[in-house]
Amino acid sequence: MDDANIPTEFDVNKAENLKWKTRIPDLGHSCQVIWDDKLFITTAISGNKEEYLKVGLYGDIVAVDDTTVHQFKVICLDKNNGDVIWEKLAHEGVPRTKRHTKASHANPTPVTNGKYVIAFFGSDGLYCYDMDGKLQWSRDLGVMNAGPYNAPNFEWGFANSPTIRKDRLVLQCDFLGESFIATYDFKTGKEIWKTKRDEISTWCTPTVINVNGQDQIIVNGYQHIGACNFLSGEPIWWMHGGRDAPVPTPIFAHGLIFINSAHGRMSPIYAIDPKAKGDITLKANETSNEFIQWSIKRGGAYMTSPLVYGDYLYNLKNNGLLSCFNAKSGELMYKVPLRPGGGITASGIASDGRLFFTSEPGDVFVVEAGPEFKLLSKNSLGDVCMATPAISEESMFFRTQHYVIAISKN
């Protein structure tokens, strides 16, 4: 979003360019969603005094053993001052699955169309409210254990966020069971169609694009990257070549679909022609074919979605290595250690010729957009940050471990 006039420098602890800061109870990694003057967020409140969270780079696959009753809440804030407009208890109970030590029980980001807002808590339900907080409908989609495919006894928690298009809600639910993609009527919650996916656990959010007048749902995955017809769920194109714990959301820019992942021996980035049909999987020695314009086998990100701004694609790995590519050709422009030591979960955003990248400890790196690397500033949120920020009008909003924070020029 350009013309946002976001400050290049700020410090929350010193209240420099801090507009407001509102404490959110307990733990959630969902991003804030804004419509007009309303900001929506979700959280899961443990029966313990404070939920355990371990951030940084580490390889443990263990889950948090917390069997206390949790409160799953949807909260609406005034984006202008941070005041709570309404707070609703969507569900109360012991979580039906466990979560990774780095995850929360409120990972999926809510979605709104300006009339309704939908919050998704994975195994603990799907809930639709009107903009004033009145519950319209809810659905129980059953237990969906999203854990590593090679260690099914470990549960990591659900994170696939819903997407909307026109009057439909789109859900990609990949887990250790009968994975599926489905659409629902946004107003009533009625299922329109549901298609089975031959897939292991993923933590990916689908993207909907229009190709020659036809809406397509684009999905990331391990066994199945592809597109399906928005109206029917019928497959359009598909491919193998993702990694075994995919997280990033596909994005669409410059007439190309960009998909990345990184877990295991490969960490690919693919630039795909949306007019693709059938099986477009690359052969072992290929980096491009009729429908894959370019790709790299190593260098994609594990947690963050790619950022395309202007002519360039920016890819930030969880070890802190930032790469810049020509989005159309795949030419590498630079690769620099933005944050040595890593610890990156939030995806980057851009405005007014600047890129904003947030680390887990809460440092926000501001980088000049373009083919040459230039760090403009490093700023502190004063709190752990796992969620991607948002920009609305002349403010930037961050969801941290304990707060929602609004930054703007004082």
At 293, which CATH number?
2.40.128.630
Task: Please report the pLDDT score of residue 90 as a whole number.
Answer: 98
What is the count of structural domains for the chain?
A: 1
* Angstrom distances, CA of residue 27 to CA of 47, 49, 110, 255, 376: 12, 11, 15, 38, 31
In a domain, 365, yes or no: no
Task: Say how many residues make up the chain.
Answer: 410
pLDDT of 341? 81
pLDDT of residue 27: 95
Classify residue 27: in a domain, yes or no: no
Q: How far apart are CA 168 and CA 64, in angstroms?
A: 34
Q: Please tell me the pTM assigned to this model.
A: 0.96
243 lies in a domain?
Answer: yes
Determine, yes or no, domain membership for 373. Answer: no
Burial class (CB in 10 A: 0-12, 13-18, 19+), 373: middle
For position 59, what pLDDT does the model report? 85
Q: What is the number of other CB atoms lying within 10 angstroms of the CB of residue 335?
A: 14
151-180 residue pLDDT tens: 888 899 999 999 999 999 999 999 999 999
Q: Please, are residues 16 and 9 in contact by the beta-carbon 8 Å criterion?
A: yes
Residue 266 is predicted with a pLDDT of: 87
pLDDT at 263: 87
Pairwise CA distance, residues 148 & 176, whole Å:
8
Say if 272 falls within a structural domain.
yes
pLDDT value, residue 265: 82
284 within some domain: yes
Q: How does DSSP assign 150-180, residue by residue?
A: T-TT------PPPEEETTEEEEEE-SSS--E
Looking at residue 342, what is its pLDDT?
80
Amino acid at 51: E
Residue 278's pLDDT is 98
The per-residue pLDDT for 389 is 98
| 239 falls within a domain | yes
Where the chain has pLDDT below 50, the residues are none
| Phi, psi (degrees; rounded to nearest 5) at 42 | -120, 160
Between CA 139 and CA 126 the distance in angstroms is 5
Domain carrying residue 292: 207-339
Decide if 305 is inside a domain: yes
- Where do runs of H (alpha helix) occur along 14-69? none
Hey, which bits of 29-157 come out as E strands? 33-35, 38-45, 63-64, 70-78, 84-93, 99-100, 111-112, 116-120, 126-130, 135-139
pLDDT at position 407: 98
Q: How far is CA 39 from CA 4, 71, 137, 347, 402, in A?
A: 17, 20, 21, 19, 16
Our CA dihedral for 311, 316, 320, 326, rounded to 10 degrees, sits at -30
